[in-house]
Amino acid sequence: MPKKQIEKRIEALERFTVAQQRSFDSAVESALPHETSELELLLSACGADADRRPLTEPEMTARRTYLTALRRECRNRRLSFPSQFDHTCYIHRAMIIIGALTFQLQDFDLARSGFKALEEGQIPSEAELAVIRAMNVQRERLHQLTMGNLQGTA
């Protein structure tokens, strides 16, 4: 087979693979619940995996519900569901959704203006600092929920 044909086939395969991955990533996001408590249970299940502890009944139910929704999304998109599913693939998206559900748009505006003030060598306002602190506390809480007790064992 001529080199040009091989290169074209490889390029076509790469485009197909990238499109499949994007479609799966979209399915992962679409299947996520849009309730903070359910998302936190999914993150907690990842923490349980990291700690190598059994899932609680609510964690197990949240994971089962999510996997059912993800299988449905994959079926609707004509994607095959992976035989070895990595439960960490949704962590980042889940954290973003929790942030969007927890904070108002004006909170993000305040945080952005506070960070801009810091970049310019100015002191952020009390309101900006309060929102930045609240977002950092939320991020750290979610990180600990997701990572379990692994940090304490290092």
Q: What is the residue extent of each domain of the chain? A: 1-94, 103-148
Q: Which residue reads 């950092």 in tokens? A: 136
Average pLDDT, integer, range 49-56 = 91
> From CA 94, how far away is CA 146, in angstroms rounded?
10
Residue 82 has pLDDT above 90, yes or no: no
Inform me whether the pLDDT recorded for 152 exceeds 80: no
85 pLDDT higher than 80: no
Q: What is the pLDDT of residues 102-142, one digit of tens each?
A: 899 999 999 999 999 999 999 999 999 999 999 999 988 88
Mean pLDDT of 93-104: 85
Q: Which helix (H) or strand (E) holds 126?
A: helix 126-147
Entry pTM: 0.68
Q: Work out the pLDDT band at 149, boundaries 50, 70, 90.
A: low
* Averaged pLDDT, 68-88: 86
For the chain, the C-alpha Rg in angstroms (whole number) is 20
Q: Are 56 and 102 in contact (CB under 8 A)?
A: no
